[in-house]
Amino acid sequence: MEQMNKSKVVRPRTLRMTRIAATLLGALGYAVVSSTAGATTTTSPTLLAALPGGTGLSTPVGHLLQGSDGNLYGAAMHDNSTNSGGVFRVSMTGAYTDFYDINPAAQQQPFGGLFQAGNGELYGTLVTTDSGPAPGGAVYSLTTGGLYDNVHTFASATSSGLNWYNSDGALPETSLVQGPDGTLYGVTYSGGESGAGTLYSISSANNFSLLYTFDPTGTMTGTHPNGSLVLGSDGNLYGTTMSGGDNGTGTIYRVTPGGSIAQIFSFPSGGTGSCSAAEFAGADGTLTAGANGKLYGVLCSAGTNAAGLIYSFDPATTTFTALHDFGAGSQGNVTGWGPNGPLVLGADGNLYGSTGAGGTYDDGAIFELAPDGSSYKVLYSFNGTDPLGYYPRSLVLGADNNLYGTTTLTGSGNNGAVFRFPYMAPNDLVMTNASASSLDVRLINQAGAQQVLQTVAKGYYPVAVADFNGDGFQDILWTSANNDLYMWLGGSSGGTGFTSVYMGKYPAGWSVTGAGDIDGDGKTDLYWINTSTHQFGYWLMDGTTTKSTYSTSYTPGYYPIAEGDFNGDGKLDVLWSSANNDLYMWTSNGTSGSSRFTGVYAGSYPVGWKLVGIGDLDGDGKSDLVWMKTDGSQWGYWLMNGVQRKSIVTVSNAGAESTTIVAVDDYNHDGLADLVWSNGSNLILSTNAGTCASQCTFTPTTLAAPAAGMTVFKKNVPNTP
């Protein structure tokens, strides 16, 4: 680690803060702009494992399943030696296993996803391969120890037009679901005496029963089920069909615990459409059940532009609501085209999903939207040239609150891949009152700001707020004059409880200055400083466990004023200053030990200004700097690219000098830093409108007033002179 040595660098030109006129709201420096539709964040998925192809498995289908053992299980259509496919397993650390290969003599291959029943066994379905006999298919079970059992083989079918006819169903393309009584339920796309599909059950003893044959006219319940059944909050099962119903464009139907089935809604003209031929989307119609009783789903090629539709449906009132209508076209449709089902309800209550095409590169996208259809945004666009591949399938929510999914093809080998998409919960506003020993956490989300109030042991205060255990929720690190550390692990949105973990003691003279990923392993680490010995150090962490510690010396008179990822490499950097108002940036260079940082001179800043926060204002994945004059008359920001300043903006705060910025963070999970102001009695959330390419504008919202004496904790802005 290099000390900050002025002789090693060249001093750039003297900084000039450029004044730019701003529209003021209530003299607070706000410009009111509605949020940008389809905004893209900078969060990216990571490759967990690539399917091997060759003599191994390739072309994943259906959705992943996280088993009770914590591993991910998925089905693949092919192994390139027999074309019969099989089941693969991927650990949370990315270890891949070809778990089970389907016997090629059966001339069958997986098409739907897996389901784990209450007995711990995995259940899946097979369809007949192109070279096999007339389509029937099968249901199989598989223990996590690898023992395979053929549960049911569907009868051979004969064709007439586009339908297949037999006694019990054909083309079981979707996964099973378990009812409250332990019985498994499934559907076939075709087959049965009508050729329009069937509903069946599997008992706990693995006995097959045909429950219903869909009406060939489509007027009773629709024809051709195109999604797995889902268990609603009312105890009934719900599913969809691709055709039939009042408009011939598909239905939503209900199955009671007793096994009776009824159509409860017909899709409007424009219907479900079909994406299955190109994107292997047999489960596109699978619904997602919300705790509010509503069902959420997608229509793959419906909507105004035949590009797809996201909807909600209330079974109690039979109310159908279009939530998002995808834009026209596939090529160049940056918001996505052809959504995959089922959707995922995230830990924050928002809906997440993927599209088989569209996005920036027309290779598919991951999206998010609120349950009321607002705030649709593209989180990531796939690019077929990178290892993640393209044409993503539907997502699943992991136990760690991250999203997991597969891509059908990859840039090299076209075998498919498994990826992890990190869940980034909206950041919370943490306030404490040391004298009153109280904690006030504001959970700022789509529903507005909520409060979680809790008592804190006297003498303790927070030194870091970050997600240390990787579950997607902010944790709080506490200390006291006794030099002890306690980690409060956060929980789901709206919860009032934290889990406290004692982390031991640290040496006298040291204090925490910030938290973030220092070594690029995706886990939050800790920065420390000892102002008496002029030492700077860091702890590499794994949750609440310290893996290793390092320290180095720094030049006396300097102190850290901010910690963030200024160059976008995924590692936390440190910005230093002194009484001379000069700036030095220590960037993480990827090496280990005390030489991890490289010091670079970063210019200076004007007298009378103070750094009040850091965050990514313009969505480029790099931390920016937010400043205020000490007299409160102006505030400003620097858009950064490493040590370079892309833009310098100042805004007048005349007439509201007592209203100051007290926090900077991303409070709505859109990839853009927002501001929180205080006028001494109220807090004002200033939401970034995404216009920083020209000048940042914000939408203000007044939050509930904090109790007297509460102080907002500033993340990664050390309490320095």
Supply the pLDDT for residue 454: 77
Q: Is the separation of the CB atoms in 213 and 150 below 8 Å?
A: no
- Average pLDDT of span 142-150: 95
Calpha distance 355→286 (Å, rounded): 14
Cβ neighbours of residue 1 under 8 Å, at least 6 residues apart? 536, 552, 586, 594, 595, 596, 597, 599
319-341 average pLDDT score: 83
User: Averaged over 222-241, what is the pLDDT?
Assistant: 94
Q: What percent of the chain has pLDDT over 90?
A: 54
Position 443 scores a pLDDT of: 60
Per-residue confidence (pLDDT) for residue 275, from 0 to 100: 53
Residue 79 host element (H or E): strand 72-79
Tell me the one-letter amino acid at 13: R
- Single out the residue of 464, 458, 463 nearest to residue 433, CA to CA: 458
Domain assignment of residue 352, yes or no: no
Return the bridge partners of 489, or none.
Answer: 499
Angle at 669 between CA 663 and CA 674, to 5 degrees: 30
Taking the CA atoms of the chain, what radius of gyration do you get in angstroms?
28
CATH number at 679 reads: 2.130.10
**pLDDT in the model for residue 492:** 53
Concatenate the DSSP letters of all residues of 507-547 into one string: -TT-EEEEEE-SSSSSS-EEEEEETTTTEEEEEEEETTEEE
| 292, two tokens | 């509010």
The pTM score is 0.73
What's the mean pLDDT in 196-223? 93
Residue 664 lies in a domain: yes
Would you list the DSSP string of 653-719? Answer: -TT-TT-EEEEEE-SSSSSS-EEEEE-SS-EEEEEE-S-TTT---EEEEEEPPPPTT-EE--TT---
In a domain, 685, yes or no: yes
Question: What is the pLDDT confidence band of residue 431, given thresholds at 50, 70 and 90?
Answer: confident
3-class secondary-structure state, position 334: coil
End-to-end CA distance of the chain: 24
Sheet with 448-455, strands from edge to edge, namely 448-455, 438-445, 429-433, 711-712
Fill in the amino acid letter for 262: A
Q: Which of 340, 337, 324, 345 is nearest to 423 (CA)?
A: 345
Within-domain flag for 335:
no
The helix, strand and coil proportions of the chain, stated in percent and rounded to the nearest 5, come to 0, 45, 55
565-611 pLDDT, tens digit per residue, is 999 888 889 999 999 999 999 998 766 666 788 999 999 999 999 99
pLDDT of residue 693: 81
Of all residues in the chain, what percent carry a pLDDT higher than 70? 86
Q: What is residue 590's DSSP assignment?
A: S
DSSP letter at 493?
Answer: T
Q: Is 595 helix (H, G, I), strand (E, B) or coil?
A: helix
| Range name among 235-239, 440-444, 465-469 with the lowest pLDDT average | 440-444
Number of domains in the chain: 1
State whether the Cα torsion 244-250-254-255 is positive or negative. Answer: positive
Q: Are strands 674-678 and 683-688 parallel, antiparallel or unpaired?
A: antiparallel
Question: φ, ψ for residue 153 (rounded to 5)?
Answer: -110, 125
Q: Residue 256 has what pLDDT?
A: 93
Nearest to 248 by CA among 203, 215, 217, 227: 217
Place of tokens 């002029």: 534
Question: 29 pLDDT band (50/70/90 cuts)?
Answer: very low
Three-state secondary structure readout of 143-180: CCCCCEEEEEECCCCEEECCEEECCCCECCCCCCEECC
**Complete DSSP assignment for 216-235:** TTSSSS-EEE-S--EE-TTS
pLDDT reading at 432 higher than 90:
no
Where do we find the tokens 């019969």?
A: 84
Residue 621 has pLDDT above 80, yes or no: yes
566-576 burial, b if ≥16 CB within 10 A, otherwise e?
A: bbebebbbbbb
How is residue 565 written in tokens?
């990822």
pLDDT at 320 over 70: yes
CA 206 to CA 687: how far, in whole Å? Answer: 54
Apex CA 512: angle with CA 509 and CA 515, to 5°? 160
Residue 651 inside a domain? The answer is yes
Contacts of 271 (CB under 8 A, 6+ apart): 243, 247, 248, 249, 250, 299, 302
Report the 10 Å Cβ neighbour count for 458.
10
CA distance linking residue 496 with residue 394, whole number of Å: 32
Q: Which amino acid is at 563?
A: E
**Rounded Cα–Cα distance for residues 32 and 691 (Å):** 11
When pLDDT is cut at 50, 70 and 90, the band that residue 7 belongs to is very low
Q: Give me the sheet containing 198-202, strands edge to edge.
A: 177-178, 184-188, 198-202, 208-213
**Least-confidence region, from 30-39, 112-121, 572-581, 592-601:** 30-39
How far apart are alpha carbons 221 and 216 in whole angstroms?
9
Is residue 486 within 8 A of residue 477, CB to CB? The reply is yes
Q: Which domain holds residue 13?
A: 6-38+508-712
Binned at pLDDT 50, 70 and 90, residue 28 comes out as very low
What integer pLDDT is reported at residue 191 of this predicted model?
94
Is 257 among the domain residues? no
- As a whole number of angstroms, the distance between CA 519 and CA 541 comes to 10
Angle at 448 between CA 443 and CA 449, to 5 degrees: 40
Residue 246: what residue type?
D
pLDDT in tens, 333-367: 788 888 998 999 987 788 999 998 888 888 999 99
**Does 701 reside within a domain?**
yes
**Residue 239 located in a structural domain:** no
Can you tell me the mean pLDDT for 261-276?
73
- pLDDT computed for residue 540 by the predictor: 92
CB 607 within 8 A of CB 601: no
Task: Name which residue leads in pLDDT, 42 or 59.
Answer: 59
Residue 208's DSSP bridge partners are 202
Average pLDDT over the chain, rounded to an integer: 84
Q: For residue 278, is pLDDT > 50?
A: no
Tell whether the model's pLDDT for residue 552 goes beyond 80.
Answer: yes
Look at residue 32 in the predicted model and tell me its pLDDT: 25
How many CB atoms are closer than 10 A to CB 75?
31
**pLDDT greater at residue 280 or residue 520:** 520
Could you give phi then psi for residue 276, rounded to 5 degrees?
-65, -30
pLDDT for res 590: 66
Please report the pLDDT score of residue 222 as a whole number. 92
pLDDT at residue 240, as a whole number: 95
- At 206 the three-state DSSP class reads coil
Query: Is the pLDDT confidence value at 90 over 60?
Result: yes
